[in-house]
Amino acid sequence: MEDAYARSVSEVLDFFGVDSSKGLTDFQVSQHARLYGKNVLPEEERTPFWKLVFKQFDDLLVKILIAAALVSFLLALINGETGLIAFLEPSVILMILAANAAVGVITETNAEKALEELRAYQADIATVLRNGCFSILPATELVPGDIVEVSVGCKIPADMRMIEMLSGQLRVDQAILTGESSSVEKDLESTIATNAVYQDKTNILFSGTVVVAGRARAVVIGVGANTAMGSIRDSMLRTDDEATPLKKKLDEFGTFLAKVIAGICVLVWIVNIGHFRDPAHGGFLRGAIHYFKIAVALAVAAIPEGLPAVVTTCLALGTKRMARLNAIVRSLPSVETLGCTTVICSDKTGTLTTNMMSVSKICVVHSIKNGPEVAEFGVSGTTYAPEGFIFDNTGVQLEFPAQLPCLLHIAMCSALCNESLLQYNPDKGNYEKIGESTEVALRVLAEKVGLPGFDSMPSALNMLSKHKRASYCNHYWENQFKKVSVLEFSRDRKMMSVLCNHKQMEIMFSKGAPESIISRCTNILCNNDGSTIPIDATLRAELDSRFNSFAGKETLRCLALALKIMPMGQQTLSFDDEKDLTFIGLVGMLDPPREEVRNAMISCMTAGIRVIVVTGDNKSTAESVCRKIGAFDHLVDYVGHSYTAAEFEELPGTQQTMALQRMALLTRVEPSHKRMLVEALQNQNEVVAMTGDGVNDAPALKKADIGIAMGSGTAVAKSASDMVLADDNFATIVAAVAEGRAIYNNTKQFIRYMISSNIGEVVCIFVAAVLGIPDTLAPVQLLWVNLVTDGLPATAIGFNKPDSDVMKAKPRKVSEAVVSGWLFFRYLVIGAYVGLATVAGFIWWFIYSETGPKLPYTELMNFDTCPTRETTYPCSIFEDRHPSTVAMTVLVVVEMFNALNNLSENQSLLVIPPWSNLWLVASIILTMLLHILILYVPPLSTLFSVTSLSWNEWAVILYLSFPVIIIDEVLKFFSRNSHGIRFNFRFRRYDALPKKELRDK
């Protein structure tokens, strides 16, 4: 029944055909069970394991690598090759792809846990009226029409419509669903609001929420998937994971690279058609296969096999650094997404605030000798911990607050007129509440005021264990005053009273809404001397003024406290006793903002990141918090910047678009609004980070580009998120954004390094094929260079130090190519030099080396006809391992120098020296040691078709390799000057990575 909130109790009961005094009959239960289904969230059909595995290979680069591996394997079989060398290349490629697939499968399996953990918020049991009798049944057996009784501490087992109040009031904590900072009072009246959100449905009890005060009966109107919790589940199922900006750029790069590779491979094969019939190949078909093998080698050279592994490693290193900042990353790619976040949609309760109601202001009457003199006190401390101080209106801390009569009696009333509990949880290391948050705030206030008559009180309390300290002062007052009778809070009175006995004296303490308490007061307690004086119109007006200031301008939740001396021996209370009270004081409380949030807000604005506060609370309360945290500092007025969800939905389409661009606050939201906001912002090309902690936040967290859950939040929110804040602190997000930007810059650097290195390998093979000289590098040698030589320095580049102004720049555009324009030209030049230097080393050994054959260049070009003509040298010279070893070593060494070029995109090595990144220096040393190992250890040298080199050969290798640094220094010089910028403009149209215009800003 979707509109039960708008129907009367009798209409709802008639709809389900149930008698509220007897409940459903067994026949009706079975009938409704068939009609409406079970009260469980249905399990979603899991993606088959084989589908998850195959999904990991649905990538163009991966498919090309698989094809290359298979072709390499087939060619080895065709040529009759056997042993480890023949199958090393395809085996290594397939092992890498299998490892990457395993990581992907594990990640996707974890993502499905959010739906499972949603079931944890369903109640286990329920007290149900059936056949005229109450019984406790499993909550899964509930059907629409069942009459259920709920009381304090009960978890609501299904969506239900209130039908009968069994206590003065019923309050429910529905923060997990709506994010409201305080519990909600429920009633029986129908709701007439149009487009009613969860907060408006005050007669509905939502599945998964908890009763914090009172007792009532309700009729079940929705079970399983047809509950508020079920709609959240459906929303999560409809949400597809968004690809991160880096993933999109790498996908674009892969598509572009695949086309280039295919073109070059075909070109190389076509260029060498004339050599297919060369006698050395033994026939046209074998010649075609030989050059096809070269084309496959070219594909292996062009594809950076180590790129996925290096990207993963760099992001993993970033997650470790972020963990030290209390940001726990659940999804590796989300680390990089932080770097281009343009909007943070932040939940208010528990993220910007502590989600712990605390007293911040106290108002008492000091004296009336020279007219009404009202004193205000400030209270520090923003959590449930009994740690904080009382300050007078000049900001001076009170050493012994309990010596002041009004503060002393406020502490008494707070401790006694209270039904909540405050306790220390050693497992979590924090103080926790049981009961209404406003009452717990009063208990904490009583602890901060302390006890009278003890000069050593502050230090004595601090010596207690945390378990005893939690309620030490409260327990003291409870031992001094024995509770005799209680008048519970009711909606009509808006107050609560307790009768206590103390040393043959009967005292009634009352607390409640200021308008109710003050109107019942005839006297006032003075704070200067503890005297009691009659209240007059002037004093009453002054108290009303202070109350309106607290509740209006400062949007504090206010309670007034009072007492009354009762006749000796009275044992019960009646409503008539709640008059002729003595006013003690007024307390104002709020869910306080976190202290670090204001500076974090300023950092976001400096970094070009907009913050939108999203909350289920009412507009005035949220605007007050926004003022305190600085979210409105840049605004003259709030018109056009602060909306309720209903106000925003009523705007025409064009005005909604404009509102989204200016919005700083959205209030009175429910789960569907949060997801709607994320989608609307994404449609405006924004990169959205969404924070949250409740079940209600899960769909939006999953939909956002990066979902950020609170460490103290629900398991559902954490599972649906990409990142969890261990300290629940908004300021941690800003630190994580800075780290994300630094990680992206480093990721970009090593991607460029690998691209330039691979360009060099492609140039090497292509030039060798065009010149008609022997194969410069064997496929297994290319694989070694790609995996080991490229991989270690590329990973170490991830340790480059972040720029000092990383949070002063605007977020980068999502459409920004990883390598484009002038930058691509630079790396094309570098890559060309790497390839030419490698070929030069190969040719040098044949023509100029003292240990080589010193052949004329024409002989080298005609190597394939050697067996058919007479020569002064043996044809076996072309199978010597020295030239390919020299070429491979030139390639390795020149790439090590090129790695040093990538310490910074534009800064010279004279400004940022190699030792600024010792990890890179260490990786270069390790890489060279590994390379020397395969050169000089016989089994490895045989495996990789290399041999040992002489000192003279090493000298030539260094001469050929070092100029790559000089070339890049010149290019960096142009980049730092206006000539480079103008050149960049000319080259933009020839971007290496075509821009898909995805979210182009």
Instruction: Enumerate the active-site residues.
Output: 347
In this structure, the number of other CB atoms found within 10 A of the CB of residue 399 comes to 11
Alpha carbon distance 922, 913 (integer Å): 14
The single residue listed with the structure tokens 């109350």 is: 547
Determine which helix (DSSP H) or strand (DSSP E) holds 374, and give its type and residue range. Answer: strand 373-379
Q: At what angle do helices 821-847 and 730-771 cross, to 10 degrees?
A: 40
Residue pair 351/175 in contact by the 8 Å Cβ criterion? no
Distance between first and last Cα of the chain: 45
Half-sphere exposure for 703 (CA within 13 Å, toward CB): 27
C-alpha 540: how far from chain center = 50
C-alpha 950: how far from chain center = 55
Alpha carbon distance 588, 621 (integer Å): 13
Helix boundaries (H) for 324-436: 333-337, 405-416
For the record, the structure tokens of 768 come out as: 């060798």
Written as one string, the DSSP assignment of 661-680 is HH--EEES--HHHHHHHHHH
Alpha carbon distance 107, 272 (integer Å): 45
Alpha carbon distance 968, 827 (integer Å): 9
Written as one string, the DSSP assignment of 831-870 is HHHHHHHHHHHHHHHHHT-TTS----HHHHHTGGGGGGS-
Alpha carbon distance 382, 379 (integer Å): 9
Determine which helix (DSSP H) or strand (DSSP E) holds 724, and give its type and residue range. Answer: strand 723-725
Mapped onto helix, strand or coil, the DSSP state of residue 587 is strand
Pairing between β-strand 521-525 and β-strand 581-590 as defined by DSSP bridges: parallel
In this structure, the number of other CB atoms found within 10 A of the CB of residue 150 comes to 26
What residue ranges in 513-568 does DSSP mark as E strands? 521-525, 532-534, 557-566
Contacts of 478 (CB under 8 A, 6+ apart): 415, 416
Written as one string, the DSSP assignment of 49-90 is HHHHHHHTT-SHHHHHHHHHHHHHHHHHHHTT--SHHHHHHH
Alpha carbon distance 720, 708 (integer Å): 9
Phi/psi-derived region of residue 201, left when phi > 0, alpha when psi is between -120 and 50, beta in every other case: beta
Residue pair 238/115 in contact by the 8 Å Cβ criterion? no
Instruction: Using the Cα atoms of residue 18, residue 23, residue 25 and residue 27 in order, give the sign of their dihedral.
Output: positive
Residue (of 815, 818, 819, 820) closest to 998 by Cα position: 815
Alpha carbon distance 134, 127 (integer Å): 7
Residue (of 657, 584, 590) closest to 623 by Cα position: 590
Alpha carbon distance 985, 185 (integer Å): 63
Mapped onto helix, strand or coil, the DSSP state of residue 498 is strand
Residues in the chain: 1001
Q: Give how far Cα 173 sits from Cα of 100, 613, 628, 799, Å.
A: 44, 21, 25, 46
Alpha carbon distance 466, 449 (integer Å): 17
Q: Could you give phi then psi for residue 454, rounded to 5 degrees?
A: -125, 110
